[in-house]
Structure 1
């Protein structure tokens, strides 16, 4: 999930408004990465994200987890020095290539491809500056309340089947790309090309990493120029020297396709999110749930 979510900042503000001043963006990342597991009667242990944790704590189903930022960094084995070294190496390579181009020196297609991924790496590093490196062991939270009673508290039809976990409906407001990505993964499974897998247990025993939550405005501003540059960067090798004319033709075709797909795809996603999806959602019945208004048509998959 390259783009940071507006939910990360929103949930941070919710916890602080509720009086939990030590809750930070690092805690939100930790929760959304599957750092908390819920153990309750009537269900197997399953992960809960930051939104679900907030409502369970707020309504008294469990105590606020006593976990500070230092504990999270220790549990995730985060190493700031290693991050800085990696960023420094990427910056050195990026600057070196720019200087060589400015001096009319030769640049290979492999180096140009590396530059495209370094661009994404820089944006990812900025968006994930508060994100733990990894979660090796989740923290188990317990509640004596049966899961059926918790569902009946928030869901007007608690008997309805759930998809990932019994509480997934509390935080299923996803970005439009999440829907497109899920269709893409499903098509690959139909073609028997399971490149991306989902948890096989039910409820899920971990949170999938390919979750696209709704981004905030800062992320969208960062996304547009970076996406355009990544889509068009391969056009810079239009007049590069290739071993054969065929390889030059293949590169040019691929570069044009990448640029066309990047520009039209980005515009299509923007139009779908701003124009098509809101009108489509108006057709669905709405019900009021304490966390947010949920669209019944988006609950199933």
Structure 2
């Protein structure tokens, strides 16, 4: 036994450095890890229904992560439209003079952004910081409302208790701006909404480190005249989509699981509640498939994650010939821009099998 122990000690080795060349498995592992970190951390799903369980929520997030891997341009285009809906909601709220001190309203989205910027960063013009912003409707409030956080129950259900017959309806931000006189909307500050948001900063930090490492590696190898793999180039395209998607959703709360039920005021009746049932959005997936929208998901108590701004029929016809949703134009442009990143590999060498065997 002593001889065996001495043999093991003689064969033991210390620290061994990695080889001076990148291995194929290291490139694959790094690229896959970066793609998964990007696609998982950028998910900002809407508030689920009160009837959704743990597995339903988990499968829904996995579904959108898979969709982000297969169609990253889809999620990026949707994030852009979510931003436009947020600005539109801000304008509607300010025009309705709800939770805002700006009683002059907003003429367009440019003024909305300027007004919001002055409130968000008052030091930019040397203005005094307004600490009490509880009554100010910000872009975060707009995102928060468009997620379907605020739900209203039928006045009939509160009387006879038939909640299953009249389910809770999730309101959009524009619906809140339209019917704010008929509901008791809670006053929430931007900080209170941020506290409800459960952003996964650890996952985002990992994704940031992975993206920075990948970008730095590609830059350094290009500067030294070294090649990099096609998989790394694809990962770079995913990273670009992830970064722009996250920037567009910078002020959107993340992982908000609980909805807030708002009560109808005394003057509101069942007729007002029926008007609130009207669908105030289009569906991205239906626009891609070019099929008419439906409203069955309204009764599930949540807003679908692929919701889009609703466009009137007269705006859906292009030159009186083609009926198409404007989201498809944005999706096409973004797909072309993201696809152009693959042109970086234009001068890559792709030898045939015969050429490889000869070499």
**Normalised by the shorter chain, which TM-score bucket?**
0.5 to 0.7
Q: CA deviation at 1:6?
A: 2.2
Structure 1 counterpart of 2:309: 213
Gaps of 5+ in 2: 1-77, 101-135, 157-165, 312-326, 355-359
Aligned runs of 1:52-67 on 2, under 5 Å? Answer: 52-57=175-180, 60-67=181-188
Matches of 1:9 and 1:200 in 2, distance apart? 27
Matches of 2:182 and 2:298 in 1, distance apart? 22
Quick one: structure 1 residues 150 and 206, their matched pair in 2 at CA, closer, same or farther if it must change by over 3 Å? Answer: closer
Matches of 1:102 and 1:67 in 2, distance apart? 51
Contact 1:15-1:23 within 8 A present in 2 as well: yes
Matches of 1:62 and 1:202 in 2, distance apart? 18
Deviations 1:76-103 (A, max 9, x none): 2125575455334323322321221232
Matches of 1:115 and 1:101 in 2, distance apart? 14
Quick one: structure 1 residues 232 and 182, their matched pair in 2 at CA, closer, same or farther if it must change by over 3 Å? Answer: same
Aligned runs of 1:124-273 on 2, under 5 Å? Answer: 124-144=245-265, 145-151=268-274, 166-168=277-279, 171-172=280-281, 174=282, 179-183=286-290, 203-213=299-309, 227-241=335-349, 245=353
Structure 1 counterpart of 2:194: 73
Quick one: structure 1 residues 214 and 106, their matched pair in 2 at CA, closer, same or farther if it must change by over 3 Å? Answer: farther
Quick one: structure 1 residues 61 and 19, their matched pair in 2 at CA, closer, same or farther if it must change by over 3 Å? Answer: closer
Does the alignment pair 1:46 with 2:169?
Answer: yes
Quick one: structure 1 residues 86 and 229, their matched pair in 2 at CA, closer, same or farther if it must change by over 3 Å? Answer: same
Structure label with greater radius of gyration: 2
Does the alignment pair 1:7 with 2:115?
Answer: no
- Which TM-score applies when normalising by structure 1? 0.59
Contact 1:199-1:205 within 8 A present in 2 as well: no
Matches of 1:214 and 1:230 in 2, distance apart? 26
Structure 1, 20-29 or 34-43: larger mean CA deviation: 34-43
Quick one: structure 1 residues 200 and 245, their matched pair in 2 at CA, closer, same or farther if it must change by over 3 Å? Answer: farther
Quick one: structure 1 residues 106 and 214, their matched pair in 2 at CA, closer, same or farther if it must change by over 3 Å? Answer: farther
Structure 2 counterpart of 1:94: 215
Quick one: structure 1 residues 96 and 62, their matched pair in 2 at CA, closer, same or farther if it must change by over 3 Å? Answer: same
Structure 2 counterpart of 1:20: 99
Quick one: structure 1 residues 19 and 201, their matched pair in 2 at CA, closer, same or farther if it must change by over 3 Å? Answer: closer
RMSD across aligned C-alpha pairs, in angstroms?
A: 3.8
Matches of 1:88 and 1:210 in 2, distance apart? 29
SS in 1 for 2:178: helix
Deviations 1:87-143 (A, max 9, x none): 343233223212212322121111111000111111112111101112211111121
Matches of 1:205 and 1:55 in 2, distance apart? 19
Quick one: structure 1 residues 226 and 202, their matched pair in 2 at CA, closer, same or farther if it must change by over 3 Å? Answer: closer
Contact 2:145-2:173 within 8 A present in 1 as well: yes
SS in 2 for 1:116: helix
Q: CA deviation at 1:204?
A: 2.7
Contact 1:36-1:48 within 8 A present in 2 as well: yes
- Which TM-score applies when normalising by structure 2? 0.50
Does the alignment pair 1:35 with 2:154?
Answer: no
Structure 1 counterpart of 2:237: 116
